[in-house]
Structure 1
Amino acid sequence: MTNVVGPRAVFGVIVPSTNTVVEHDYWRAGLPGVAYRAGSMYIPDPVMADDRDFTALLGQIRASIDTAVRDVLTAEPDRMVMGMSAETFWGGVAGNAAFEQRLRDRTGLPVTTGAGSCRAALRALGCRRIAVFSPYQPVADVEVGRFFTEAGFDVAAITGLRCPTAMAIARVTPERIRDTVTALDAPDVDAIVQVGTNLSFVAQADRLESELGKPVVAINAATLWHALREHGITDRVEGAGRLLREY
């Protein structure tokens, strides 16, 4: 439900308790009349140094998401936005659809997820062959690749940065990201896609698009774009990539 600070929309945003980037990226977009209420999923053990650790981290997310959603609903938002991405890719296209349906059933609200937003963004941009990078371990990158393949995209490559903890994701330097994107880029790749919402990339993606001459999709830009456009808000945003600027 709209209010004085969010007369156009109030979005409920679900983030891990370790995440410092999603809310920063959304507020930085500077959309007048759009407000955000974050709900935090408690992550007591943020280690994700290998596949076993990452799977355990996902278990913590699954155990705490209902409480985070409960808390956000007290602000009476107009839409639920998932400011976390790995769980939204799990199980491929069917897994994402089931996850979104569970949230719609739980909240009675429209839902934006990272996986669904990236799919919609790539379709809007007219991209088919993509290269992807993440902060994840291999077990999660397999699920990311599965989702995009089942969604009809040709995945040329996936690079995982193998961050050792959930907090370390926000400490990845722009230099390391640039090196990763440079290694992934190729003449036959239509777009570079980044997943992992605690990875600070929106502004850098905007700059890299100009350099590479092709879309570079940051997941936080994709989820914000999807939430806005699905809600009928068509404002164009500068400095956050072609998607929010032109579509």
Structure 2
Amino acid sequence: MTALGFLYPGHSGEDDYPRIEQLLGSDIRVDLVHTDIGEDAHRVDALREMGSPQRLAAGVAELRLAGADAVVWACTSGSFVHGWDGAQEQVRALAQAAGLPASSTSFAFVHAAKEIGARRVAIGATYPDDVAQLFAGFLRAAGIETVDVVSSGVITAAEVGTWTEAEVLALARAADRPDAEAVLLPDTALHTAAHIPALEKELGKPVLTANQVTIWEGLRLADRRVNAPELGALFTREPVVQA
């Protein structure tokens, strides 16, 4: 049994996790612990506080007691707003507190994009533009080019959690560009687990979404590979050997 531990901020799109667990197989367990988010706002100061060490550490003990093999901070904006170096320090502190391999959704996007060989991507963000541009900068620090960023300007995770499949598809279509090798949809508040095949069929290319890559990152940390076509190209392709 492989047990994956996730620290999830508040309550919005967390039902993606049991859905994904069902698609992975009976020997993988997904444990989710909710962290206190403070103020629900896609604003830089609020996002930095949401991912502060004391807020993350509060949920670590529960995951450790559950027998997690790895832990991932299941939040994109609450990690990349710290910048590349700050996000690395956040993960180091989480690993130290948990005594386990650790990562975050922001790094999950980087690793997943490289896994599928996507060096040029388009971003469809729920966030305001200033926050979305910080994500593009984070990717740039990892050597991933962003060909365009589309921002929806949504302020709260609670609102994002109400989005329908039609709204998710519309965001992905708006973000896509012919020279983008993949489309990235950050924000773990966004329900996407049930929509990935439709998204990839619509765009004709890989689509990486926050909860999808977060689960994949947990598996990567636990040294597990799972073939799950319902979760898109990321879960079906062989790893790309980087030149």
State the partner residue of 2:31: 37
Shift of 1:232: 2.7
Instruction: Give the letter aligned to residue 55 of structure 1.
Output: D
Q: Which residue of 2 aligns with 1:207?
A: 198
Of 4, 27, 44, which residue of structure 2 is paired with 1:11? 4
Q: Which runs of 4+ in 1 moved over 4 A?
A: none
CA distance in 1, matches of 2:211, 2:137: 20
Q: 2:175 matched to 1:181?
A: no
Deviation per CA, 1:176-215: give whole Å up to 9, x if none: 2222222221211111001101101133222221232211
CA distance in 2, matches of 1:28, 1:58: 32
Give CA deviations for 1:10-68 in whole Å, capped at 9, x if unaligned: 1111011223434234324242111122221123542x2x63xx532542442522211
Instruction: Tell me if the contact between 2:173 and 2:203 (Cα under 8 Å) persists in the aligned partners.
Output: no
The match for 2:105 is 114
d(CA) in 1 for partners of 2:87 and 2:39? Answer: 25
CA contact (8 A) 1:18 1:43 kept: no
Q: Percent identity?
A: 22
Matches within 5 A, 1:115-194: 115-194=106-185
Aligned with 2:49 (options 45, 53, 59): 59
Structure 2 residue runs of 5 or longer lacking an equivalent are 239-243
Structure 2 residue corresponding to 1:229, chosen from 214, 220, 235: 220
Is there any run of 5+ residues in structure 1 with no aligned partner, and where?
A: 1-7
* Contact 2:56–2:94, Cα closer than 8 Å, also in 1: no
TM-score (norm. length: structure 2)? 0.88
Structure 1 vs Structure 2 CA RMSD: 2.0
User: Does 28-37 or 96-105 show the bigger shift?
Assistant: 28-37
Q: CA deviation at 1:170?
A: 1.0
Distance change (3 Å), C-alpha of 1:16 and 1:91 = closer
Deviations 1:110-159 (A, max 9, x none): 11311111111111111111111222223421321111111111111222
Corresponding residue for residue 72 of structure 2: 81
Give the conservation status (yes or no) of the 8 Å contact 2:5–2:31.
yes
Distance 2:217 2:127 in 1: 23
Please tell me the residue identity of whatever aligns with 2:220: R
- SS of equivalent residue, structure 1 residue 88: helix
1:99 corresponds in structure 2 to: 90
Deviates more, 1:227-236 or 1:33-42: 227-236
Q: How many residues align?
A: 236
